[in-house]
Amino acid sequence: MNWLWTPRLRPFIALAGTASLLLNLALLMPSIYMLQVFDRVFSSRSLETLFMLSVLTALALGLGYCMDRARSLLLSRAGRLVDETLAPHALQAALQENATARHRTDRSALQDITRLRGFLGSPAVQALFDAPWLPLYLLLIFALHPALGWAALGAALLLFGLGLYTERHTRSETEQVLLRGRSAALHIEALHRNAEVLVGMGMLQRAVAAWSARHREALLAQERLGEASAALSACGRLLRQAVQVGMLGLGAWLVIAGHASPGIMIAATVLVARALQPVEHLIAGWKSLIEVRAAWARLQQQSLELPQPDALRLPPARGGLSLEQVSYGVDPQRPPLIKRVSFALAAGECLGLIGPSAAGKTTLLRLMLGLRSPQAGSVRLDGVELAHWPREQLVGAIGYLPQDVELFAGSVAHNIAQLGPVDSERVVAAAQLAGVHEMILRLPQAYETELGEAGCALSGGQRQRIALARAVYGSPQLVVLDEPNANLDSEGEDALARAIEQLKQGGCTVVLVSHRPSLMRQADKLAVLREGQLELFGPREQVLARLSSPSVHPLRRPEAGSAAGAQA
């Protein structure tokens, strides 16, 4: 549980430890009260002594209540701090890794953080804070009588041995339960994403049967773990009760032999019960301890650090884009998807990227956006490698319209404003630039129309046009459009062509992929990609002339910075 002493949690844990000390000192008072009542009050028959002892015990119990309450509040605040500190960065890291296809961040990081927060508010963590004070109780029992002390020490060692056995016996089963549970959860996510295909193609029953098999394995593993944990917990409870009975019997024997008083017998029995109670709770909650330890180990393997606020700020992006001998592949054992691609675009130019299916066009766009890192070569924006640009400085500088468009739950204005604060003038300007302003006004509540999850209230063409407005929001200097007219009618295509022309006039660099030749009239340059290689690059008319010639030979790959390289 070394994660409890991370710098952000250390003050809360230290205060909770202090409260635990005071709580355990206060809980010694009932044993002292019984000792004094049996050995002093009964013999002296003094009501004044009984009254004073009762008052002192009541004050001690009141202090114990306050300390117990304070500890619970401190640990609850610590749990909230863990969530508020880690959860946003875990989500950001998971989304970043998912977008860049690195997959180094565990997708269940948020669940692990929730597990940590829940643990800090559970009885198991309170048992962790109470267990270190076991020696204090043992010393007091030894002070009452050495024989009782040795008996209590033996019982404590026996319970600790049971705890270690519990940890070793249930560790592998707990890990199996976690792995199978997470696998089943990921399978459910995949089924939800492909629900239409499953229902439309009659695959639903087979998909559910496959999930049921995985789920059954998870249930069986959880059942085995539950049986083992229940047996060990029952053993721990029974052992503690047996220790109390044994301590009472030993104390009675000492009283009969004249080696101890009845007060010592009762006080020692109460003390040993209090001393061993945290150990029993730890044994009962060992499963949660293993889960929390595994969750923290997974989180430590991930990068959830905050970005450095004092990073050097670069000048605002202007839109100049260049690729220098860029190569990229997913599997080193297979040929790369992109092979030594080089070209350059000046700010304000429009590049049309064409080629057959599976030529690598979308992958090349992702490299231009920094969603993929080239294995060789470099992608530069205004002469600076894209990887060296702080991502926060590119907010609003790059617009992207993906091939598969999804909008977010919320209003049209909220989506166009890229989920940020809605600036009415900028939202309307982006909609007018994208040629979608009139279409939005025809919606039931215009810009305040709620779209529902994934924009389900709109047609595919409407979603694509609103996503175009989102891409051009805030006057970006580089706009990347992947099949922007896939779902558009003739009116939408005309609006898209006008939007591209206005972007170019505003000095924005545009890169677009489309299989429709009509849209390529807006391109200043064309790049022909085939099997990951740049086959042609140059001004649109010259490239089209080469494509229409009877024989087209692969051209020399242009060097970066040579905009007119590889021309016929």
Nearest to 510 by CA among 539, 542, 547, 471: 471
Cβ contact 530:555 at 8 Å: no
Does residue 371 sit in helix, strand or coil? Answer: coil
CA within 13 Å, CB half, 420: 11
How confident is the prediction along the chain (568 residues), in pLDDT tens digits per residue? 555 666 777 788 888 888 888 988 888 888 888 888 887 787 788 888 888 888 998 998 899 899 888 888 888 888 787 777 776 666 666 666 655 555 554 556 767 777 777 777 777 788 878 878 888 888 888 888 888 888 888 888 887 777 777 767 666 677 677 777 777 777 777 777 677 667 776 767 777 777 777 777 777 777 777 777 777 777 777 877 788 788 888 888 888 888 878 888 888 888 888 887 787 777 666 667 767 777 777 776 665 544 445 556 777 778 788 888 888 877 767 777 888 888 888 888 888 888 888 788 888 888 888 778 788 888 888 777 777 777 777 777 888 888 777 787 778 888 888 887 888 888 888 888 888 888 888 888 888 888 776 666 677 778 888 888 888 888 888 888 888 877 777 788 888 888 888 888 888 888 888 877 777 888 888 888 888 888 888 888 888 888 776 554 444 444 444 433 333 3
Nearest to 100 by CA among 388, 374, 293, 423: 374
Return the pLDDT at 106: 52
Return the pLDDT at 246: 84
Torsions phi, psi of 358, nearest 5? 65, 25
Beta bridge mates, 529: 534
The encoded tokens of residue 370 equal: 């920094």
d(CA 76, CA 387): 40
Cβ contact 481:446 at 8 Å: no
206 CB neighbour count, 10 Å cutoff: 10
The CB-based long-range contact list for 257-262 (8 Å cut-off, 24+ gap) reads 259/145, 259/147, 260/144, 260/145, 260/148, 261/38, 261/39, 262/38, 262/39
* CB contact set of 40 (below 8 Å; sequence gap of 6+): 46, 49, 263
Q: Any idea what DSSP says for residue 284?
A: H
Return the pLDDT at 512: 87
d(CA 494, CA 514): 14
Does residue 350 sit in helix, strand or coil? Answer: strand
Edge-to-edge order in the sheet of strand 398-401:
398-401, 478-482, 509-513, 350-354, 525-530, 533-539
What is the helix (H) or strand (E) element at residue 299, kind and residue range? helix 286-300
d(CA 71, CA 83): 18
d(CA 264, CA 260): 6
Return the pLDDT at 59: 93
Q: How far is CA 56 from the centre of its chain?
A: 50
Block residue for tokens 């019984």? 34
Return the pLDDT at 561: 42
* CB contact set of 383 (below 8 Å; sequence gap of 6+): 320, 322
B/e letters for 12-25, b = 16+ CB within 10 Å, e = fewer, are: bbebbeebbebbbe
Return the pLDDT at 556: 41
Cβ contact 30:322 at 8 Å: no
